[in-house]
Each structure stands twice: as C-alpha cells, then as structure tokens.
Structure 1
Amino acid sequence: MADDSNATEAPTRREYVKYGGAVVGGGLLAGCASDSNSESAPTSSETGTGTATPSQTATEDDSYSVRMAPMGEVEFDAVPEDIFTILGHHADMLLALGRGDHINAMHGPGYHQALYEKLVAHLDGVSVDWEGLYSSWPPTKEKLYELDSDVHIADPAKVTTGEGWDDGDVREIGENVAPWFGNTLSGTNRTPPEGWTDRYEYYSLWEIFGKIAQVFQEQERYEALASIHDSVRQTIEENVPPTYDRPSAALVLLSADEDSGWGYKLNYPGYYAAHTRPMGAEDALADAVGEAYGDDGRNITLDYELLLEADPEVLLVLGPMTGHFNLDEIRQRLENDEVASEITAVQEGRVYAQGARRQGPILNLFQLEMTAKQLYPDQFGEWPGYINGEPYPEIPEDDQLFDRQRVANIVNGEF
C-alpha cells in the first residue's frame, strides 16, 4: 500500500486518548521501550485472577496508563469509546466488557457474527451486530484515518506483518489517530517479527483480557468473569480422569470438499489451546508426526492417511459452529471414505463440532464446557451434540459448567 500523501495532514489523534511519554529514539511507539524489567514473564497458566497483576497507574487529572507488551505503557485521558479491532479474541473481550456495540471494525465480521450469535443466544440481554463492519485484515491507513477510532485494540507487531504495513506506518497511526493496544502472538507464543523481539512478552488469554479491562476501566467486570473461569477450571482439574484413562484426540479443520485439512496442537502454550490444554488429553497428531509438528505449534497440513495413522479416539472439528462448514456433511464424507472410515473416532461416532481457536473469555467458557463433555462424558455429562445452524445446544442446568445468567448479568453490567 502506497503511503497516503495527505496522511500527515489529517487531524491529530484525539487529545483525550494518547500515548504517554515521548517517542523513544528509534522506537516505533510512544512508551514502546521493552518493559521486560517491569513485569515478570507470564506463565502459560489460565487460572484467572491470580495471574493478572494490575499494572495501571492513575494520576491526579484522572488520566491513567496501562502496560502490556509489545506496546509498553500506554496513557489514556478518558475511557475510549469508538474501537477498532482485528482478531476474534480481542472482539470477544470487548463484547465481554459490554463494548460489543462500540466496535467499528474486525476481520471477518460475518464469520464472527455467525459464531457468537450461537453463544449469546444463551445470554439474556446480550447480542451482537457486527455483520457489515469494515473487515480489517489487513487494514489500510486511509481507512484508519477515516474511522478515527479512540483506540486500536490490535497488536502493532502483528499489524506490521500485513501487506502494505511497516513500522513507520504503525507509528504514524499511533501518533495521528489513536494508540495501539493488543497482543496477538500469544496465541501460540509465535516468534515476533524483526524489531519486536526484545519488547514482546507472552500472556495467557485471561491476562490479556485483564489488561484490556484496565483500558476500559472495567476491572470489576473482569474480576467477576475471571472468578467464573476459575471455578470452571477448578471443576475440570478436580474431575478429569487419570492420565492413563484419557482418550487420544485431534483438533482439526477439514477441507469442505477434499480429503485434506489442518491439525492443531492440543497442549501447546498460548490462548489458541486455552480450551484443550486444561483437558490433558493425549494429542494423537503429536504421536503420529512428533512434538515439533506445525509452524510455531500452529498447524500441520494433513490428509486422511495421516489422520488414520494418528487414529484419534475423539475428533474435534473446527468450523461448523461458524456456519462455514456443515458437520453432517463432514461426518458423511469421513464415513464414506475408504481410509477415513477406519479412524476410531469415526467408527465410534465421536466426531464433534468446535468453535474457534482465536477465543476470548466468552468463547473460552463455552469451549471449556463443550470440550470437557466431548472428551470426558462420564465425568462432565454427555455432550448433546451440535445441530447445524442452531445455537450452542441446550444443556440441563445441573450439567452446566457455568451459570449462563451470571455471565449475562456481568456482560450487561449487572453485578
């Protein structure tokens, strides 16, 4: 993307939301110097409030700052209102904080609309209206000037990898429109792009959520949701069967019309596995191709022969809950294929729908519940199955791993 010759003539960023401090010589963003000495490196724990140490600083004029890698410390004079974002985990966090209607952009808005409609159907008073928003990957500088957001909830290091972007473009938008605040590479603890390594840190999903909550002055709402997450995690940890009695499983995204797809690590660090890692199931694909499979643990290209070699007892299939894939058709194709029909999960009818790996707190709670039931029905109750096009299935109240009404109340600000 060529630089907009009028970009530097555009109005400067809003005065009430700004970076604190001056641009460090050679740095990309104000407050962008490495903060590795100010916060200890986070663990891969997803246990909730205990892992998110507050890092907010308030001043007498009501401005405040929040620190997170890779940005460093970012200063705000008021709570942002108009919000630009890109990826689903950040959009989910904004929804959980009652800011779903404040989002002006996201990557694949129709995709996320379809998925989250199936979840919020169980949360009274919570809805999403994202279809038709600017699809923001990769964004253009011109569009960011046009949107004139109060904050960009997106990872600047990730943005520099988009077509038409470099460090100077990221700095320009941060200075002239609004600050960046996001962390994406913690999805798989992916290696940062050149120039960002020294300032990057990896966080759990709930640690990132805690930081985003501080930006919007919603620490109490975060704490309330994190307490529910802690309870779900405790229930899972106390009830999963011994290691020797856990099934082998594979998490996959299958092609809609070919005998191929992609496999993803169940137990890898990062928030992409925040719903599978706590289950401690045996990763069938790791056994088949070795622990080093995939790009930074993100994926491996597979076909039915490799899937049969892995031979999972449970097959977790991404996509059907987004509306982009039909679970019944996937099952039928597997059952009718000479090779795939031999897979244990196919023969035993344990091919289940999943949501998405780029998850925030709301999707994480639902996916923890569904994955626990799909893998360990004796311990957590039978998974009722997902019907194509329908919401997340109804589960008897006594078998639910979390209280839907409690979550809805928190998202609606009633707590």
Structure 2
Amino acid sequence: MSNDEETDAITRREAIVYGSGAAVSGLLAGCLSGGDSTDSSTPDESADGTETPAESEDGSGTRDGSETPEGTPTESAETYSVTMSPTGTVEFESPPETVFTRLTHHADMAFALGRGDTITAMHAPEYYDGLWNQFVERLPGVSLDWTGLYSSWQPSKEKLYSLDSDIHLADPAWITKQDKWGKDDIEEIGTNVSPWFGNSLSDRHAEPSEAYAGDYEYYTLWEQFEIVAEAFQEQERYSELAAVHEGLLSTIDEKLPAESKRPSAVMLASADLDEIYAYTLSNPGFLTSHTQPFGAKDAFDGEVPTNTVVDFETLLEADPDVILFLGGFEPGTDLGKRREAFRSDPVASKITAVQNDQMYPQGARYQGPILNLFQLEMTAKQLYPDQFGEWPSYESGPYPEIPEDEQLFDRQRVADAINGEI
C-alpha cells in the first residue's frame, strides 16, 4: 500500500467510532492488504435444514418507544449515532464504504441500499450469488456479483484484520454462540478494525450466548433494515422500499380468504429424500417473514416442531394441501425431478399436495428486503391462486416472468430504489 493509499484509508476509518453500552471508542486501526477470497464452501444445511442460519411483519417499517430514536444525530452536526441490539450505539462521521457480512439477510440489506458491490465477505458467496441472481434477473438495470468474496461462515480474526472492512454487518452474539470467539475477541476487532452492527438471533428468537444474555432485542426483518439504512444514511432508499413492502402487505391483507378457507401447508428442505427437514410457516422470527402474513394452517397441527426431520409416512399423516420446497430456486435444482420423486413413491403419492400438483419452489429463509418482496409475491400465488393469480409453471431457471398486470409489486420501482434513482 502506498503512503497516499494508507493516508486515505486511515482518514476514512477515523470517520467511524464504535460504542456499546459503555461506549468503547477510539481510532480504528489501519489498512492491511486484502488477502485471497476464493473460499467456495457450500451452505451448511445441518444448522437448520436449509442454507445456514422476527417477529411477524406488520408492514409498518418503523420502530418506536425508545427514549433516543435510532439514527438521532449527536450534538455535533458532523456525526450521527445509530443503535441496534446487541451491539449498542455506533457513532459515525460518514457512512461505511466497505461491508463485512456473514449471513444473507445482511448482505441483501447492503445490496438493497446500493452497497452490493462494497461487500467484502459473506457466507458461501458462489452459492448465494447464483441463488440471488435468479431474482435479480427480474429487476431491470440491476446487477449483482458476489463471486470471489471471502466465505465468512467461520471467520478468523486474522482475516478480518486483512479485509479491513469499514463495518462488520454481523451479529457478535451469533458469532460467539456458533464459533470459538469470546467477547474479548469481538471487542478487539470492534476497536482495532471497525464496529459490529448486526442482529441475527431475531431469525427464530434464539437465546444469545451468555456474553450477550439479558439485553438482547428481537426485530422484524424490516425493523432491522430500517436501522441498517440509518447506519448507511440511506433513509430515502429504505423509505421507498418500505413503501413497496407496505403496499404489498396491504394487498395481501385485503384479499386473504377467511381462515376456514385457508390451506394447510408445510415447507420442506432436503439435499436428497433420505433426510427431509420440515418447517412450519408461522413460528417466531424473520425466517418466516414471507409466510407469516398468509395464515396458512400448520399441516402438523403443532405436533411436529419446525426444523424436524420427517419421513413420507409423517408427511402423509399430516397430509398438507400445499408443499413448499425450500431451495427450489437453487441453480441446478431440477424441481420437476423432485416432484416426480414424490409422485412415484407409494406413500408420498397419496399426499393431497402431491395428488393435486401443489408443490412449489421457495428461495431462502435468510432473506433480506429484496428477496422478501419476491417471496411474499410467490407465496401469495402459491397458497391463494384464486385471490392473487396463479403461480406460473416453474421447474428451473430465474424467477418466472409474471405479466405486469399480475405482479404484486412494481419491479421498476424496486430497481430504481436500489440504483438510487428515486
């Protein structure tokens, strides 16, 4: 690194001051070389039966009740502070320019705010680049490239120093729960590199590690997105996307049939049929933010917990009206072959959803705002075709093209928000 480059980097990094509780602060340390980013690991499906790693969405996109609202400027006109559990308050003099992420709900948030090309790390980048681009294909003028990034499922401190990101959009409570990191390691990186600023245990309202127990707050997907937007000073982009989301939820609320006319459903995930994970659609957390609003009946009637391995006999006993295949949009997935495996099995073929050919693809549960919009639309059509229009026939490839008059949200408006053309 040249002297000029080093000076630029230090100046940029001095613009972010980290605080949590007691407001640890200080000069964030220097600029190190980038290091390689060729890890091509695939998602860990053992964690929850889906990729790796909320309350129900209310469409408000706002938060209230706190004495110091998130995003409230400090006394200095040149700085602003933003608060998120569990990381506390972070003070900024300018928005972060490079972003470390671990899980895809955070990567999608950065992407939605026009920061997709500033991400330095994420879990299984090649896999999620392929999956997300199945949906980005339908956003005119928008592109996304996450290939070649550092795969951050089990990040090392040395690599975080090397990446030298301006912000770690990741949850330290999640990292200390999953990895051999202590709170002292988190504080070291937060002080010497850049602050942590993320929340992941809202995924299913999981308990935090002991180091963060007692003061952990859970957010809906869009509540957290609003706070992240404040950190990047992208409130206008957030407001535009939140308006699209609120309009979509309003359409759903207006057209939902009575509870007595709603189908029973289950979401399934499996690399093969030897181990099938089943998920209910309304358990707490943002992992179900695309299914909660629809009020479909739990096919298991509460008898089988979410994220449980089931066999065909258990599925037949539950007899869902609709089956949603998690990962059905993965590049290379042959949804037709998966459906045929159910039809050809002597037990599975008796399931109502199989007999009526109501087996549909889903994308990912660790969704950010952009994927959430697409998944709300697809789930509406898959569960309630009479109210929201039929879901197109789909076996592989990008999200299907839906006629404009049958779309439940405006693609161009979303694309313009991502591109900053508001």
**Does residue 386 of the first structure (1) align with residue 398 of the second (2)?**
no
1:18 aligns with: 17
Question: Equivalents in 1 of 2:332, 2:102: separation in Å?
Answer: 19
Query: Deviation string for 1:298-346 (max 9, x for gaps)?
Result: x111111111111111000011212263211211111111111111111
Aligned to 1:206: 222
More displaced, 164-173 or 399-408? 164-173
Alpha-carbon separation, structure 2, partners of 1:22 and 1:176: 18
Q: Report the 3-state secondary structure (helix = DSSP H, G, I; strand = E; otherwise coil) of the residue aligned with 1:221.
A: helix
Classify the secondary structure of the residue corresponding to 1:262.
strand
CA contact (8 A) 1:377 1:383 kept: yes
Could you tell which deviates more after superposition, 13-22 or 329-338? 13-22
Letter in 1 for 2:379: T
CA contact (8 A) 1:81 1:102 kept: yes
SS across alignment from 2:361: strand
Map 1:42-53 → 2, pairs under 5 A? 44-51=56-63
1:225-304 alignment, distance < 5 Å: 225-256=241-272, 258-287=273-302, 289-290=303-304, 293-294=305-306, 299-304=307-312
Per the alignment, residue 326 of structure 2 pairs with: 318
Return the alpha-carbon distance in structure 2 between the equivalents of residues 267 and 209 of structure 1: 20
Equivalent-residue separation in structure 2 for 1:158 and 1:132 (angstroms): 24
Quote how far apart the aligned CAs of 1:12 are: 12
Identify the residue that residue 34 of structure 1 maps to in structure 2: none
User: Does structure 2 retain, via aligned residues, the 8 Å contact 1:250–1:283?
Assistant: yes
SS of the equivalent of 2:181 reads: coil
Partner residue, 1:35: none
Shift of 1:150: 0.3
- One-letter amino acid matched to 2:16: V
Report how far residue 13 of structure 1 moved.
9.9
SS at match of 1:56: coil
- Whole-angstrom distance in 2 between the partners of 1:102 and 1:267: 34
Give 1:344's aligned residue. Answer: 352
**Range with bigger deviation, 52-61 or 246-255:** 52-61
CA deviation map 1:342-396 (0-9, x unaligned): 11111110000000000111000000000000000000000003231x1100111
Equivalent of residue 144 in structure 1, options 160, 174, 177: 160
* One-letter code aligned to 1:358: Y
**Aligned AA for 2:417?**
I
The residue aligned with 2:402 is: 395
Q: Provide the secondary structure at the position in 1 that maps to 2:178.
A: coil
Tell me the residue number matched to 2:91: 75
Choose which of 89, 114, 137 in structure 1 pairs with 2:105: 89
Q: 2:367 aligned with 1:368, yes or no?
A: no
Q: CA RMSD in A?
A: 2.0
CA distance in 1, matches of 2:300, 2:25: 43
Distance 1:12 1:123, change over 3 A: closer
Aligned length: 382
SS at match of 2:300: helix
Partner of residue 56 from structure 1, selected from 71, 90, 108: 71
Any conservation in 1 of the 2:56–2:289 contact (CA below 8 Å)?
Answer: no
Moved more, 63-72 or 155-164: 155-164
Question: Where does residue 34 of structure 2 map in the other structure?
Answer: none
In the alignment, which residue of structure 1 is the partner of 2:187?
A: 171
Structure 2 residue matching 1:18: 3-state secondary structure: strand
- Distance in 2 of aligned mates of 1:241 and 1:21: 46
Q: Which moved more, 1:157-166 or 1:98-107?
A: 157-166
What TM-score do the two structures reach when normalised by structure 1? 0.88
* Shift in Å, 1:173: 0.5
Q: Deviation string for 1:145-164 (max 9, x for gaps)? A: 00000000000100112333
C-alpha distance in 2 between matches for 1:74 and 1:324: 41
Distance 1:266 1:56 in 2: 33
Structure 1 equivalent of residue 418 of structure 2: 411
Q: Identity percentage over the alignment?
A: 53
SS class of match (2:158): helix
Q: Kindly tell me: are residues 66 and 391 of structure 1, through their superposed partners in 2, closer, same or farther at Cα, counting changes over 3 Å? A: same
Separation (CA, whole Å) in 2 of partners of 1:21 and 1:304: 49
- Greater shift in the superposed pair: 12-21 or 173-182: 12-21
Instruction: Name the CA distance, whole Å, in 1 between partners of 2:380 and 2:333.
Output: 22
- Matched position secondary structure for 2:141: coil
Which of residues 140, 153, 172 in structure 2 aligns to 1:124? 140
Cα 1:12–1:217 change in 2 (3 A) is closer
Moved more, 269-278 or 315-324: 315-324
Q: Please name the residue that 1:135 is paired with.
A: 151
State the match for 1:186 in structure 2.
202
Cα gap change, 1:147/1:12 in structure 2, threshold over 3 Å: closer, same or farther? farther
